[in-house]
Amino acid sequence: MDYTLKLDQALDRLHEEGRYRTFIDIERQNGQFPHAVWTKPDGSKQDITVWCGNDYLGMGQNPVVLEAMQEALVATGAGSGGTRNISGTTVYHKRLEAELADLHGKESALLFTSAYIANDATLSTLPKLFPGLIIYSDELNHASMIEGVRRNGGAKRIFRHNDVAHLRALMAADDPAAPKLIAFESIYSMDGDFGPISEICDLADEFGALTYIDEVHAVGMYGPRGAGVAERDGLMHRLDIINGTLAKAYGVMGGYIAASDKMCDAIRSYAPGFIFTTSLPPAVAAGAAASVAFLKGAKELRDAHQLQARILKMRLKGLGLPIIDHGSHIVPVMVGNPVHTKMLSDMLLEEHGIYVQPINYPTVPRGTERLRFTPSPVHGPRELDTLVHAMDGLWSHCALNRAEEAC
């Protein structure tokens, strides 16, 4: 076996399809985000504006978060020293879990190193706790949920995206006595559409199923205290397990689930992804706790975020660009070709200092390639004007189609 040849062939396929992923060197500057510095391959530097980040509210540079992290770093040092079972549980981790449990109105929360690990570890562990469990998973669920469901060794059913009738038909066809769980998201990040939370909860009640919701693109940004879409809609009490992230709106790092005491205790005791993973550094946990606590009372920041998203969508629609608008903060502009998408991304960066990554297969289906913008309260009128004018010019330059809207 020529292993090097096989690697070359695998990478060549990506290049040929126009979906080889490149990373650029970005230096975020404290207090200046969304502005950053791009170090080009030749070593020269260029000022850029980041339009595709997940630090949705700019909390990665909020003084409240930085001060909490600095205090914890001075007090405890860099790392946690081990897994949660081996010296890796500190007052900072417990404080963060208490903040998260309070946020979601649950008895407990369990902290992981990322929301990906939280999804994977929890969903792959649940069949151990409920033998014979059938998991019903939305077809557009995040890769971490898909992986957790795939690895659990139990039965799974995939229902068409947001299709409650299809989900009901699948559930009705299964053994009424079998334990069941419905796994879905509140906001699907590629199109920015919302999951039908209330209708799914109704089905869960009808068929005696547990509910598992991923709120990673909603926590911090929706609801009176930022607990997500389920809080906004008054539905948190109907959800058994809520997954969230600390790496997007909260501006730090980590993931979690919030659930009953017994559910968190069981996952803590059985999930290898929790048991054998070194815990977050105390300074990170301290910063995350400060961010969660701060955003519980920051309605004005959430309102400003939604306003920026509405303004950007309105202006892009006014130019006839094919955007998808489901009413969330995510602004996808459809291109439909991986080569063109990469070309637009490169031209925005090199000619206009605007950084937005191309979104290609397998993140989205072939033929739906796009640029995905994430406006935030720290993107001001000048940044918005620059982006809109650049998109208008490049769309004409590349002779791409214009439409009222994509969806």
* pLDDT single digits (tens) 196-208: 999 999 999 999 9
Per-chain mean pLDDT for the chain: 95
Q: What percent of the chain has pLDDT over 90?
A: 89
**In what helix (H) or strand (E) does residue 136 lie, and over which residues does it extend?**
strand 134-138
Lowest-pLDDT choice from 131-145, 261-275, 331-345, 390-404: 390-404
- pLDDT reported for residue 110: 98
Question: What is the per-residue DSSP string for 184-223?
Answer: EESEETTTTEEP-HHHHHHHHHHHT-EEEEE-TTTTTTSS
Write down the pLDDT at residue 406: 38
For residue range 221-268, list pLDDT tens digits in order: 999 999 999 999 999 999 999 999 999 999 999 999 999 999 999 999
Output the CA angle 231-192-358, nearest 5 degrees. Answer: 140
Q: How many CB atoms lie within 10 A of CB 244?
A: 31
Q: Is the pLDDT of residue 397 over 80?
A: no
Integer Cα distance of 69 and 63 in angstroms: 10
At 177 the three-state DSSP class reads coil
Q: Is the pLDDT of residue 138 over 80?
A: yes
The residues carrying an active-site annotation are 248
Q: Is the pLDDT score of 184 beyond 50?
A: yes
What is the pTM assigned to this prediction? 0.94
How far apart are the two ends of the chain, measured CA to CA in Å?
Answer: 48
Q: What is the mean pLDDT of residues 305-311?
A: 96
pLDDT category, 384, cuts 50, 70, 90? Answer: very high
